[in-house]
Amino acid sequence: MAKPKVAFYWCASCGGCEEAIIDLNEKILEVADLINIVFWPCAMDFKYADVRKMADQEIDACFINGAIRTDEQLEMAKLLRKKSKMVISFGACSHLGGIPGLANFYDKHSIFDVSYKAACPSIENPENIVPETKVKVPEGELTLPAFHNTVKSLDQVVTVDYYIPGCSPAPYLTLEAIHKILANDLPAKGSVLAPDKSLCDVCSRNDTKPEKLMLDEINRISLVDADPEKCFLAQGIICMGPVTRAGCRKEGDGRCITVNMPCRGCYGAPNNVKDVGGKMVSALASILGVENEEDYDEEKITKLMDQIVDPAGTFYRFSLPVSMLHRTRSEKQI
Ligand code: SF4
Ligand code: SF4
């Protein structure tokens, strides 16, 4: 029987998701034996023309990591969708917009100002030249893909069949997904291939969270000596565990929790949470310093809220493009 044809592609991301495939270690040989890799430009010498030549739906499963930020990424996402029976959104940037999605707090022009113009102290560019999509040079015309104003998740531009979450996805989840694809044993389309529980549900520190938690101060992990046994929230340190999907480790605590760092939310929300930031703000609102309605003290609450440095970046660190906020207001959304 012919081996299933599999493709991997990289859009706007740091490359960690490509590393996550290499992190299969010796299991990668097992995987390579079971599938026929027909496109993986990061690791092998494939060209876009190779994909264009393929018949529609010729690829059995295509793993796409990274958000969509440029014309090139948009074109490749659409091309690979057309050529693939199944598209798997791989990793937080593809799934949620990820860290590149934080750029949605700005627009293309302000990003170019910081990257290429006077706003960047290490750049000398008196003519304020910025990258153009077409430039004439003596040898002919040079082209660059257009840079979009808004970062999008993969499913905001093409239909996605399954999601493997995480920054980066845990190798065991990738391996499980490949075996499920091979065995044709997949859940309903649109499913996230990770447990539908919150990180708190699997966290060994959960028992140290008092039933009635009341915070009098918010602490930053970099400025305190966090107790390695105690729930971060009980120590006044923001941990996104209550609104984040479990699964970053096969068993036990989340990856960050095991090294005494609070969760930042890279696995996105479990199915019952629609907007991680909104839900986290609501969770915090119920534990910030006021036990009874009569004790409500606006000044105290404001002081506590002010201790959360960069709330939007904290609550939507990985998910701004798919959140209710989506981006700051802009004339041009593309
Ligand atoms: S808030 Fe964080 S530390 Fe506390 S139980 Fe949840 S995941 Fe664990
Ligand atoms: S603990 Fe949270 S931020 Fe860390 S890897 Fe797991 S889901 Fe991602």
Ligand nearest to the CA of 165: 2
Q: What is the pairing mode between strands 59-65 and 84-90?
A: parallel
* Residue 332 included in any domain: no
* 251 in the same domain as 133: no
* 118 in the same domain as 241: no
Residue type, 115: S
Instruction: Give Cβ neighbours of residue 325 (< 8 Å, ≥ 6 apart).
Output: 277, 312, 316
* 122 in the same domain as 177: no
* Ligand 2 near 244 CB (within 6 A): yes
* Residue 193 included in any domain: no
* 31 in the same domain as 161: yes
Q: What are phi and psi of 161, to 5 degrees?
A: -90, -45
Residue nearest to atom 4 of ligand 2 (CA): 256
Please list the pLDDT of the chain residue by residue as tens digits (334 residues).
789 999 999 999 999 999 998 888 888 888 888 999 999 999 889 999 999 999 999 999 999 999 999 999 999 999 999 999 999 999 999 999 999 999 999 999 889 988 998 777 888 898 888 999 999 999 999 999 999 999 999 999 999 999 999 999 999 999 999 999 989 999 999 999 999 999 999 999 999 988 778 888 899 999 999 999 999 999 999 999 999 999 999 999 999 999 999 999 999 999 999 999 999 988 888 777 666 777 777 888 888 888 998 998 999 999 999 999 888 876 655 5
* Residue 334 included in any domain: no
* Residue 194 included in any domain: no
Q: Are 176 and 195 in contact (CB under 8 A)?
A: no
* Ligand 2 near 267 CB (within 6 A): yes
Q: Where are the beta strands (DSSP E) in the chain?
A: 5-10, 36-39, 59-65, 68-70, 84-90, 134-137, 140-143, 147-152, 162-164
Tally of structural domains, the chain: 3
* Ligand 1 near 284 CB (within 6 A): no
Q: Output the DSSP codes for 172-219.
A: HHHHHHHHHHHTT---STT-BSS-SSBGGGG-TTGGGS-SS--BS--B
* 315 in the same domain as 213: yes
Q: What is the pairing mode between strands 140-143 and 84-90?
A: unpaired
Which residues are registered as beta bridge partners of 198?
A: 245
* Ligand 2 near 268 CB (within 6 A): no
Place of tokens 């091309």: 79
* 116 in the same domain as 89: no
CA of 264 to the centre of ligand 2 (A): 6
* Ligand 1 near 233 CB (within 6 A): yes
* Residue 188 included in any domain: no
* CA–CA dist 312, 224 (Å, integer): 22
CA of 270 to the centre of ligand 2 (A): 13
* 154 in the same domain as 143: no
* 133 in the same domain as 155: no
* Residue 47 included in any domain: yes
DSSP 286: T
* 214 in the same domain as 135: no
pLDDT recorded at residue 215: 83
CA of 179 to the centre of ligand 2 (A): 24
* Owning domain of residue 128: 105-148
CA of 264 to the centre of ligand 1 (A): 11
* Residue 73 included in any domain: yes
Helix (H, G, I), strand (E, B) or coil at 33: helix
Residue nearest to atom 4 of ligand 1 (CA): 231
* Ligand 2 near 255 CB (within 6 A): yes
| pTM for the whole structure | 0.93
DSSP 151: E
CA of 315 to the centre of ligand 1 (A): 15
* CA–CA dist 33, 43 (Å, integer): 16
- Residue 51, domain CATH: 3.40.50.700
* 242 in the same domain as 282: yes
* 160 in the same domain as 34: yes
* Residue 294 included in any domain: yes
Q: What is the pairing mode between strands 134-137 and 140-143?
A: antiparallel
* Ligand 1 near 242 CB (within 6 A): yes
* 130 in the same domain as 240: no
